[in-house]
Amino acid sequence: MNQALTISNPFDGLRKSALRCRERARSLVRAYPREAIGAGVLGFVAAVALGSMAVPNPATSPAAHAAPPAPPPMTYQQVAPQQALKINADIPLAGGPNPAAAPFLFKGSNSARAQALDCLASAVYYEAGNQDADGERAVAQVVLNRVRHPAFPNSVCGVVYQGSTRATGCQFTFTCDGSLGRAPDADGWRRATAVAEEALSGSVYAPVGWATHYHADYVVPTWASSMAKDAVVGAHIFYRWPGNWGRPAVFTEAYAGREPNAAALRMAALAAPHVTPVTAQGEVAEAVKDIPGAEALKLAPSMRGDKRVAIRFNLVARKASDEVTTEDYTKKFGASDNLKYALSSQTVATDEQPLGKAATPATASAAPSGGPALASAQPYSAFCPGTTGAICGASFNSTLTLISSRRASIARSSSDSEEAALH
């Protein structure tokens, strides 16, 4: 009979076990109330965590691991500077928070820091050397922001010289417009180095936030309207990427800890050919052929090739052109003695003898009182060889008359001075 009841009621044993467990739990709660509450909270947190694993997280979805956007090329709208100032002023600042960037933590050797300092100081000097300290600090902040963004190299020199050896595509214009050929002045370089040193040591320029782009206010890049405008500092306008790629959480790239050689990057940038677009055609394009080291390039229709001319400047060719030796003009064309003398740096000697034969005493009758006799009877051919006698004589007589008048005037002045001294 008992076996039959057990078979007919299979869940009676489970109910009795559950009742016993509940009674034990109640006794534990009464005996240890605090511990029981803590265990309950811990169980609730664990349940929430397990439940959240089943919900897709956008931050960890495959879309979040998409490739970062490529840095836009430095191309500009063809507008006058005054018009550019107005266009830039009409672009509003982006809404929402603009948090300050985190301090940059340099982790590398002393040699790597020296290279990073050189590259960062170069960017500060050539990009903002004509601005105040805030303008220089803002440029340094953008460089270090890029180092930590996945769209850019993770070294300071890599960021500064990115694209400098391409015909178009340099990110900082001073690396591809020939500015590096101009040696910095001592005071300006000292200021730029101090700003760079502070930035590498963790100093933050908060007004630009996490900005990764900027440009001068007198130009309008083609990408300006697609970026979020963060701040205006001096003559520069600063931007960040809109959306997720401009948020602080993206700037997680670790610093490489090593740097390429700054001097080698500078030399490569100077030697590379570059393209500078100009807004002219026709005669300008033809004149390009006469510029040493320059070459006219045809632009694609997408780059407004119908209205613009591109010039490739090969600095190596220009240097070779400057070093070409030229033949002396006087030797090349067999210049006369008079032309050689005029082109030379020689001066008249104090004991220089006049041209022609010495004057004879018979011509002294025409000499003014107190002055030497003039050689009026001297042959004309001695003074101007190669000319006819009539032409030479007329010119020579006019010269003698002028000299005689001048000497007479000098004699009268001397006589008047002597009389005044006697009285």
Domain layout of the chain by residue ranges: 2-52, 81-271, 274-349, 375-407
- Which pLDDT does position 90 carry in this prediction? 93
Q: What is the pLDDT of residues 78-119, one digit of tens each?
A: 888 899 999 999 999 998 889 999 999 999 999 999 999 999
Q: What is the pLDDT of residues 285-307, one digit of tens each?
A: 666 666 666 666 665 554 444 55
- Which pLDDT does position 415 carry in this prediction? 53
Q: Is 105 left (phi over 0), alpha (psi -120 to 50) or beta?
A: beta
| Top-confidence residue, 205 or 39 | 205
- Which pLDDT does position 59 carry in this prediction? 43
Across the chain, what does the average pLDDT equal?
A: 74
- Which pLDDT does position 418 carry in this prediction? 47
What is the pTM for the complete model shown? 0.54
Please check the confidence at residue 24 and state whether its pLDDT lies above 50. Answer: yes
Amino acid making up residue 186: A
Lowest mean pLDDT among 30-44, 318-332, 393-407: 393-407
User: Is the CB of residue 179 less than 8 Å from the CB of residue 276?
Assistant: no
Side by side, the strands of the sheet bearing 309-313 are 274-278, 309-313, 294-297
Please check the confidence at residue 162 and state whether its pLDDT lies above 70. Answer: yes
| Top-confidence residue, 79 or 26 | 79
CATH fold of 81-271 reads Arc Repressor Mutant, subunit A (1.10.10)
Please check the confidence at residue 195 and state whether its pLDDT lies above 80. Answer: yes
The total number of residues shown for the chain amounts to 423
Q: What is the mean pLDDT of residues 2-27?
A: 62
Q: Is 238 left (phi over 0), alpha (psi -120 to 50) or beta?
A: beta
pLDDT-based confidence at residue 208 (cuts at 50, 70, 90) = very high
Please check the confidence at residue 61 and state whether its pLDDT lies above 50. Answer: no
- Which pLDDT does position 371 carry in this prediction? 47
Give me 149's structure tokens: 């963004």
